[in-house]
């Protein structure tokens, strides 16, 4: 297994010799405004360019789209990805959206698992910010709230948990306890809305995760790219160094981590 950090939550997971592209956000630096309901809305995003060509990024076996927020999927991805490419999504809403854009091979993942070339993919639940606070904000601006995580399992590989856009919550703990993954990719930039509520994990969430699961290897993703971040790679490195925490990997954009 190896994981290549592309940019933001966009990664390539090479698992049992299969290449999965996750959450392709492929537009150029500064092409879109910050989110109106979030902090730092005056800052354009993505804050950085892609570290490699789009053609290189989309040269994969399948795509996993955890949700269709515009920092995880965009028109550049729609144009670049072959319309016959297999894309895994979380729900009927997401499938219908992609079908409306011309994609012909869209599968919905479920908690019971999907066998793709002997790799079992399990949909796992998220709280994309505290549900009781963030969902009404999403409903008000017409943006879907739900996101998913994914478990990868194969007898030849360690079990991988792609947590997705989520805070640290009961759903994450339940997933950890059920699947006992060896490696977790955590989205850790602490992106926040105007009222200060975070949408994904920050350093406090990371502390709690490490306390509960000290032996797991963590890969930090969704870093240094969206306008509404509150945690940077520099912040994470300082936390790791100060607390002498092991098993946390903080890849740069374009970096590949063999596992």
Task: Specify whether the CB–CB gap between 164 and 184 falls below 8 A.
Answer: no
- % of the chain with per-residue pLDDT over 90: 96
Nearest to 85 by CA among 105, 67, 65, 100: 105
- pLDDT score recorded for residue 142: 86
DSSP secondary structure letters along 128-196: SS-HHHHHHHHHHHT-----EEEEEE-TTS--EEE--S--S-HHHHHHHHHH--SEEEEE-S--BBTTS
How would you write the pLDDT of the chain (259 residues) with one tens digit per residue?
A: 999 999 999 999 999 999 999 999 999 999 999 998 899 999 999 999 999 999 999 999 999 999 999 999 999 999 999 999 999 999 999 999 999 999 999 999 999 999 999 999 999 999 999 999 999 989 988 889 999 999 999 999 999 999 999 999 999 999 999 999 999 999 999 999 998 999 999 999 999 999 999 999 999 999 999 999 999 999 999 999 999 999 999 999 999 999 9
Query: How far apart, in Å, are the Cα atoms of 200 and each of 82, 84, 149, 184, 223?
Result: 30, 31, 12, 14, 11
Which SS3 state, helix, strand or coil, does residue 80 take?
A: helix
What domains does the chain contain, in order, with CATH numbers? Answer: 2-250 (3.60.15.10)
State the Cα–Cα distance between residues 123 and 110, nearest whole angstrom: 5
The predicted-structure confidence for 199-208, as pLDDT tens digits, reads as follows 999 999 999 9
**pTM of the entire predicted model:** 0.97
The predicted-structure confidence for 134-155, as pLDDT tens digits, reads as follows 999 899 888 899 999 999 999 9
The predicted-structure confidence for 64-86, as pLDDT tens digits, reads as follows 999 999 999 999 999 999 999 99
State the Cα–Cα distance between residues 8 and 252, nearest whole angstrom: 10
Q: Report angle CA 26, 27, 28 to the nearest 5 degrees.
A: 120
Which SS3 state, helix, strand or coil, does residue 259 take?
A: coil
Task: Specify whether the CB–CB gap between 253 and 48 falls below 8 A.
Answer: yes
């Amino acid at each position: 297994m190896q994981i290549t950090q592309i940019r933001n939550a966009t990664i390539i997971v090479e698992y049992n010799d299969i290449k999965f592209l996750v959450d392709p956000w492929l537009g150029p630096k500064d092409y879109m405004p910050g989110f109106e309901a979030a902090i730092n809305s005056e800052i354009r995003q993505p804050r950085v360019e892609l570290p490699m060509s789009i053609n290189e990024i989309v040269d994969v076996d399948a795509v996993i789209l955890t949700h269709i927020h515009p920092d995880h999927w965009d028109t550049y991805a729609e144009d670049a990805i072959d319309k016959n490419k297999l894309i895994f999504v979380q729900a009927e809403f997401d499938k219908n959206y992609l079908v409306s854009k011309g994609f012909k091979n869209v599968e919905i993942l479920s908690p019971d698992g999907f066998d793709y070339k002997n790799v079992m993919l399990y949909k796992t639940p998220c709280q994309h910010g505290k549900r009781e606070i963030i969902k009404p904000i999403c409903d008000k601006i017409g943006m879907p709230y739900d996101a998913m995580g994914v478990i990868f399992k194969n007898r030849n590989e360690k079990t991988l948990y792609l947590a997705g856009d989520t805070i640290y919550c009961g759903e994450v703990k339940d997933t950890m306890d059920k699947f006992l993954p060896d490696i977790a990719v955590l989205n850790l930039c602490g992106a926040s809305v105007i009222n200060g509520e975070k949408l994904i994990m920050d350093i406090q969430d990371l502390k709690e995760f490490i306390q509960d699961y000290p032996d797991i290897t963590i890969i930090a993703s969704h870093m240094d790219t969206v306008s509404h971040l509150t945690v940077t790679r520099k912040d994470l490195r300082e936390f790791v160094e100060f607390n002498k925490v092991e098993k946390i990997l903080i890849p740069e954009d374009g970096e590949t981590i063999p596992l």
